[in-house]
Amino acid sequence: MKKKFILFDFDGVIADSFQSAFEIQKMICPHLTENIYRKRFEGNINDWEEPINVHTEECRHDIDFFTEYIPRMKNEVQIVPGIKDVIVGLEKNYTLIIISSTITSPIQEFLEGYDLANHFAQIMGNDVHTSKVEKMKMVFEKFDVESKDCVFITDTLGDMHEAEKMSVGSIGITWGFHTPETLLRGKPFRLVENPNDLLTAVEDYFKIK
C-alpha cells in the first residue's frame, strides 16, 4: 500500500511565530493592525499588495522581513506545545513534508534545535518557490504521489485555497494565524483545536480517500 503524505505548514502550525512576525511587519508598516495582518494570509502572502491609501507611504522599504525574522526564529520563537510528539507519532505511518512561505534554511535549523528535522522527508520554503501550488506539484512529481495521497495541515485560509487548486484536502488548526471562522471558509476536512487531535484527524481523512 502506497504511503500517505502529510504536508505541514510551518509558521503557526509548528512554530508559535505570529507575534514575532507581526511585530516585524509593524516595524515596516506602523499603521498595521493584527486584523489587517491576518487578512494578508487569506491568499498567498507573497501575492499581497498593500492597498493604496493614506498610510502606504508610511511603510519602510529599508527593512527586510527575513533579515529581522530569522534571528527571532533562533532566539524567541518557540515550538507549539505538544506538536513535537505529534510529529514523531505521525512520521511512523506517514511521509511528512513542510511547505512554507518562510525560507528553508532557518526552518531546518529550527527543527534541528528540537531534534525534528530528520522526521521530514523534505522542507520546501519560499526559496524553493513562492507558490505552494507549485511546491505541491513538485511533491507529486518527486515522490510519485497523487492528490488523494496527501493532506495539508495549515492555519490559514490562503493555504487551503492553494491546496484546493491541487485537489488536496486540508485540516485546519485553530492555534495559528486564522480564527476558526476564517478557516471554515476554506471548507477543511476538520478543524483541530489540540495538536494531539491531529493523529485522529489524519487517520480519519485517509479512511475516506
For residue range 45-64, what is the model confidence (pLDDT) as tens digits? Answer: 655 555 545 455 578 888 89
Question: What is residue 5's three-state secondary structure?
Answer: strand
Q: What is the pTM of this model?
A: 0.91
Q: What integer pLDDT is reported at residue 183 of this predicted model?
A: 97
Residues 6+ apart with CB under 8 A from 110: 15, 73, 74, 77, 79
Residues 6+ apart with CB under 8 A from 67: none
Q: What integer pLDDT is reported at residue 147 of this predicted model?
A: 96
Q: What integer pLDDT is reported at residue 59 of this predicted model?
A: 81
Q: Show the low-confidence residues of the chain (pLDDT under 70).
A: 1, 43-57
Domain ranges of the chain: 5-16+78-207, 18-75
Q: In angstroms, rounded to a whole number, what is the distance separating the alpha carbons of residues 13 and 173? A: 7
Residues 6+ apart with CB under 8 A from 168: 7, 136, 147, 150, 151, 152
Q: Shortest CA distance to 97 belongs to which of 127, 120, 69, 67?
A: 120
Q: What integer pLDDT is reported at residue 60 of this predicted model?
A: 82
Place of cell 512529481: 141
Q: What integer pLDDT is reported at residue 45 of this predicted model?
A: 66
Q: What integer pLDDT is reported at residue 49 of this predicted model?
A: 54
Q: At what angle do helices 18-28 and 65-75 cross, to 10 degrees?
A: 150
DSSP result, 50-101 = ---STTGGGS-SS--HHHHHHHHHHHT-EEPTTHHHHHHHHHTTSEEEEE-S
Residues 6+ apart with CB under 8 A from 121: 95, 96, 97, 143
Q: In angstroms, rounded to a whole number, what is the distance separating the alpha carbons of residues 207 and 4? A: 11
- In words, the CATH class of domain 5-16+78-207 is alpha beta
> How is residue 104 written as a grid cell?
528553508
